[in-house]
Amino acid sequence: EAVEEKTEEEQQNLEKLKQEAKEMNESYQKQMKELKEKLDNDEQVKREYEKQLRKHTRNIIDIKISL
C-alpha cells in the first residue's frame, strides 16, 4: 500500500510538472511572439526612416545642383 501511495504521489508530481512546463512554454511562446512583432515594427520604422532619408538627400543634392 505504501508503494501505491508513493507511485500515486509521484504521478501527481509528474502531472504537476507537466502542467508547469506547458504553462512555461506558453508564456515563452507569447513572449517570442511579442518580441517578433516589436522587431517587425522596428524594422518597418527603420525602412521608412531610410526611405525618408534618401528622399531628403536627393532633394538636397538637387538643390545644390541647381545652385
Give the pLDDT confidence of 46-64 residue by residue, as tens digits. Answer: 999 999 999 999 989 888 8
Q: pTM to 2 decimals? A: 0.64
pLDDT band of 35, cuts 50, 70, 90: very high
pLDDT band of 4, cuts 50, 70, 90: confident
- 8-11's contacts with Cβ under 8 Å and 24+ in sequence apart are none
**Cell 509528474 identifies what position?**
14
On the question of pLDDT at 31 being above 80, the answer is: yes
Round to whole Å and give the CA distance between 58 and 64: 10
